[in-house]
Structure 1
């Protein structure tokens, strides 16, 4: 059975790349797509920023043909502004619109946006309805279990948002008060999937970081697909590894040093092409330690990479890494 969102066919049990602030930009999305992500989202975009035509918000609307299917994710606290932002984002021609009702960080949640809306389901429903009516595209939602342990209201949220027209729901298995601590609890996600009233795809999110966990939780929680976030940072191979494990029950070989360097280099080149050389090099610095996580005695190279100011310097350091580790880790 293929998973459908509106007229988008995602195949059987899709793996989605989560929208992550300062991570899920086009260069990062490129390497994830190359490694098997079935659907991706932009970083979340402020509705206020879009309406004010803020350069940073506008730039986040950049999407490329090879990324499809892709969703633009927006957040905000004002219903009218969310409607306007939806109209603006629709003009960028994504495949779907997504609303962020899950972001737990203070700058978002304490301004009445993101996970904050879990405290006011009536407003969340009204806002979702406004977004659905403002676009011809399918609308999806990402949220959490609830605000805290005493208010796990996502079961009600799922029914009411489906009633106003959303086409899929992704649920992160934590409350807002948990932030990213503790373990994600997917039991309530399973209950929603089993609710006979729910007809839309339900995707699980939170703590999927290995092929065997993905396979076990697919069986245990019966979701329609999974969204992967932090585990893909510096490790876009997670998508292809999970898919291989689903198909064969066997592990794919881990990426070699040469592969790590190759994907890291691709990410850097895409970053420079999209943001310009200076910003591209600077913003790539946050990714190096993840690309080479687990490589022994890498600290010296990491320090060099995060201080290198030109692409030539970075290429030289990567060549040194290749030379040192290619034989050691073969």
Structure 2
């Protein structure tokens, strides 16, 4: 492969890739991070497309500082995956021992119309296949997400549900999710970005840059990452949190000058920008506010809760060890960005 190219050969590929009409990415190579690099700039160099920075992010989380690069560290630059997806595992059937619950409209993670029914669905399928204690399971789709935790999972109408954000249970142990549910290891982490008007000189290089700003998030969205042990933006009145009914409404408030920025997960933000026709008018800043995990959850009153979570966690660990985790993630990321473009 290309991992051991000498610098001159790599430079030749770089020149070719950046030439007008170039279509080939410089991928399946290792790259040493230089001062001033960001995931955005590295993606632009290797893929000629800044939006594909998440391919590098998900391939190198073990050497990143969150979504930030560290000069001197070596990153692997993966090639984009193909859009096709395998059939579900043979353990998945209607009349099954374990019943899982999810819903759609959450691209690229879960939706019945997506290849593999979404990235997270495919990760769950593969993890269930690789668990050391496999059981048959079914997946039910309920499009009203507000019913998933309460009453459906809380009353054990289903065994487990996915994908769900985990609150900061150490700081807020009385949060209803923390009180009522166990969480798996993260299936994946997602960057929570700051979206600003393209003509705004707003910078977010450190937490101090956010002091005095007004951020918009939709009604019902978490805020624990804005008020944690090392960041007291809300409790100390350093940042104002504005609300709107929908992500689109937050972006409308941004364009009207009512808020300084919108804070959403990268994928929801990008999808909303395209739907609202704001792609050239609003941009994500290169520093994320936080990273949030997506988990499988199960009621704390479920008599097999520990055994079921073990299956998911052990299968996910095996999935990463085999390299299939990155293959699945890369394939779905490539499809997501291709659809947006």
TM-score (norm 2): 0.26
When Rg is computed on C-alpha atoms for both structures, the one with the higher figure is: 2
Which one has the bigger helix percentage?
Answer: 1
Which one has the bigger strand percentage?
Answer: 2
Q: Which has the higher contact order (CA 8 A, sep 6+)?
A: 2
TM-score (norm 1): 0.27
